[in-house]
Amino acid sequence: MIISIDGRIIAPEAATISVLDRGLLYGDGLFEVLRTWRGVAVTLDDHLARLHASAEALALRVPGELPTWVRAAISAAVAAGGSTTPGATGDHRVRVIVTRGPGPLGARLADLGPGRAIAIVEPLPAQPAELAVATVEWPVPRRARGHKTLAYLDHVVARELAAAAGADEAIRLDDAGHVVEAATATLFVVTAGAVTTPPLTAGILPGITRARVLALCAAEGIAARERRLALAELRAADEIFATSALRGVVPITRLDGEPRASGPVTFRVADAYTRAMTAAL
């Protein structure tokens, strides 16, 4: 594992931040997670662009050197060579964190920052070939929707509820009962050959992989649309798949304990995504 704080590589046991940092006290910060492909962080610029967009919306100061610091941490991890992690793929998982920084407990945002910029690079575990999902009674909250903030406990609880139901991921609904997203992934359904995913206006994270999949559908001649999804539509779909930066495109083969088929459209999209990532190397 390689850890960089403000551009300085630090041993994991010595990597610390202040207990007064608002990232710790309030979850006041942002993060991004991505993977390398054959040692290359293909989507890094996209993830940093999303981080900057959220930072602007939340008045969070991001160090201008952040891209350089992250790339240096990735290079250090790649240079370190092989991994002893069981099931490691040879690639790396990259987590980028920017906190608001330390300050008085009652301080206004304008009086704080810049905070700490952290990059954690570690071996990428083998990713699942399929997923089981469960609908959980844990609606997506209205606060901070569309931003990947450090206040992430809500997503963690949803995923734990899914695990308790014997699933890998949670299906999360809004207050009206519409399907919004998974705990750590974007959801797509396939009906009569057409792909549908909830719109950004539903409050979902503007997923980097989600955007690429929609573009790939257009390139592959697969009809794709964004609209609200009722839970009944999810259950009636011909195929369901999930997307995320680490997993890519993964078929959902079990929903609330019932088996689901992994179909041809999901396979086409997954294959196109893998080809696009490797072509960008």
User: What confidence tens digit (pLDDT) does each residue in 236-271 have?
Assistant: 999 999 999 999 999 999 999 999 999 999 999 999
Looking at residue 206, what is its pLDDT?
94
Q: What is the CATH number of the domain that holds 29?
A: 3.30.470.10
Categorize the per-residue pLDDT at 144 as very low, low, confident or very high, splitting at 50, 70 and 90. low
- pLDDT at 87 > cutoff 60: no
Tell me, yes or no, whether 154 and 102 share the same domain: no
Tell me, yes or no, whether 138 and 207 share the same domain: yes
CB atoms within 10 A of CB 135: 19
Tell me, yes or no, whether 112 and 150 share the same domain: no
C-beta of residue 70 within 8 angstroms of C-beta of residue 97 = no
pTM for this prediction: 0.94
Tens of pLDDT, residue by residue over 20-78, are: 999 999 999 999 999 999 999 999 999 999 999 999 999 999 999 999 999 999 999 99
Q: What are 264's two structure tokens? A: 């041809």
SS3 at position 243: strand
Tell me, yes or no, whether 151 and 169 share the same domain: yes
Tell me, yes or no, whether 106 and 138 share the same domain: no
Tens of pLDDT, residue by residue over 57-70, are: 999 999 999 999 99
Q: Which domain holds residue 158?
A: 131-279
Tell me, yes or no, whether 159 and 258 share the same domain: yes
Categorize the per-residue pLDDT at 195 as very low, low, confident or very high, splitting at 50, 70 and 90. very high
Mean pLDDT over 175-202 rounds to 95
Categorize the per-residue pLDDT at 140 as very low, low, confident or very high, splitting at 50, 70 and 90. confident
Q: Nearest 10 degrees: CA dihedral of 5, 41, 49, 240? A: -120
Q: Nearest 10 degrees: CA dihedral of 260, 129, 270, 90? A: 170
Say how many domains are in the chain: 2
Tell me, yes or no, whether 98 and 191 share the same domain: no
Q: Name the nearest CA neighbour of 65 among 40, 83, 48.
A: 48
Tell me, yes or no, whether 146 and 108 share the same domain: no
Q: How confident is the prediction for the chain on average, in pLDDT?
A: 93
Percentage of residues in the chain having pLDDT higher than 90: 85
Looking at residue 111, what is its pLDDT?
87
- pLDDT at 138 > cutoff 90: no
